[in-house]
Structure 1
Amino acid sequence: MIALSPPPFHFHPLKSSTIPMKSLRSDPPEYSAGGRTRTHALLRPHHRTNPFIWFAAFLCVILILLLIASVVLILIIFLIIKPRNPSFDTTAATLNAIYLDSAAYLNADLTFLVNFSNPNTKIDVVFEYSSIELYFLKRLIAAQLIQPFVQRSGEAKLLGLHMISSQVYLPPEIAAELVRQVRTNRVWFTVRGTFRVRASFGVGHFSYWLYGRCQIELTSPPSGVLLARSCRTKR
């Protein structure tokens, strides 16, 4: 028996495939109508920042830092000095006369002492504007301005005021209530003060508005005396 040998196997060398260089290149750039490439058109041209802009930014930073330093300094001063509001009070009052003319027009004569006190130990205050108003049942019946004055730290100041009401019209219900209070020997008034205060400490100062209010009770004239009072002062 004769064995058949397989046919001889021949190796054929593979031919190296060359990739055209054109296929490795990216797509050609697209041009816009003006002749510039689209990629170049999307990029903004680079410009140098104007030195004036840098200088303005530097000044803004300096001003912000100065502002922050000023706020911190003022806060520290406030914490050390601990400023307090001056107080307004009515220490004495006399109702000299009060009557109604034609049952509708008020005539009244009232004198009282107001006390201004500065509780601060390191701050002087100046009352640049002071207005005192007298009310009966929320009806303004007299007003007076006070000349500006200075109050040193820890100082108290008494001022005498003479309030006169002349022919002040009162609605019927308010006039009836006034007659009733005079008959019962208990007459109530409201004293309101509006003040523009400037506080000074060293080389610094600040101004603010201050409001005082007192409820006072007096006996009937001709020698009406102060029976009770309730005062408060706030900003």
Structure 2
Amino acid sequence: MRKRVLEPERRTNPLIWCAALICTVLTIAVIITGFAVFVGYLVLRPKVPQMSVKSARLESIDYDMAGILAVKVSIVIAGQNDNARAHASFYKTSYALSFGGVKLAYLNAEAFDVPKNSSRELYYLVESTPIPLSPEQGETVEAALRQSHVAFDLKGTSRTRWRIWMLGSVKFWLHLDCQLKLPLDRTTLYPKCSTKSR
């Protein structure tokens, strides 16, 4: 009977042990960080700051037989920060006010901050230059005048950033898309229109 020759024992390379140790430490760190972020989220319950149209009013509208339109509209837009523990910043704010596909004005704002659990209002008085309309657009204006209200579209975006404890800095694009049906009698409208985050 032949004796089995024992092969020399192979030892694991120290580099492999180091790599395994590093991977283990990194895995544990990721798990702990994820748990801390989850607990922080549950404790703080952060809310995305919003932009919303607080009020709008048609100050005046002039439309003549030559198909020239001129309007004056006042709009109040508010930056809202409903977080009790987070300061918010708004920047790259730009909205376009249009009627029947014709751009009347751009409503822009410089970067601004909103304290915790607070809001800041932006006041716009939009006065368009006389705008020549096509016959189809003129018919839209005449129909609106008969219905005693004029529908404007307000679309655009704003960027928001706020810092949440251990979660770090959070950024969102806020998209606003409103239709404002403003009465001809200068009644102030309080639309329920806010931004959606993406």
Q: TM-score, normalised by structure 2?
A: 0.75
Query: CA-to-partner distance for each residue in 1:165-185, whole Å, 9 max, x for gaps?
Result: 346575543442122102432
**Which of 1 and 2 has higher RCO (CA within 8 Å, sep 6+)?**
2
Of the three residues 52, 74, 90, the one matched with 1:89 is 52
How far apart, CA to CA, are the structure 2 residues paired with 1:122 and 1:140? 39
* Residues 1-235 of structure 1 mapped to structure 2, 5 A cutoff: 51-99=14-62, 102-103=66-67, 106-137=69-100, 139-166=102-129, 172-202=135-165, 204-220=168-184, 224-227=186-189, 229-235=191-197
Q: Aligned residues: percent identity? A: 26
User: What are the superposed Cα offsets for residues 183-202 of structure 1, whole Å, 9 maximum, x if unpaired?
Assistant: 43211123234121112234
SS in 2 for 1:226: coil
Find the aligned partners of 1:57 and 1:164 in 2 and give their Cα distance: 68
Whose Rg is larger? 1
Q: CA 1:129–1:176 in structure 2 vs 1: closer, same or farther (change >3 Å)?
A: same
Over 3 Å counting, the alpha-carbon distance change for 1:48 and 1:199 in structure 2 is same
TM-score (norm 1): 0.65
CA RMSD of aligned residues (A): 3.2
Contact 1:126 1:199 in 2 (8 A): yes
Gap runs ≥5 in structure 1: 1-23, 26-45
* Structure with the bigger percentage of strand: 2
Would you say how many aligned residue pairs link Structure 1 and Structure 2? 189
Structure 2: which 5+ residue stretches go unaligned?
3-8
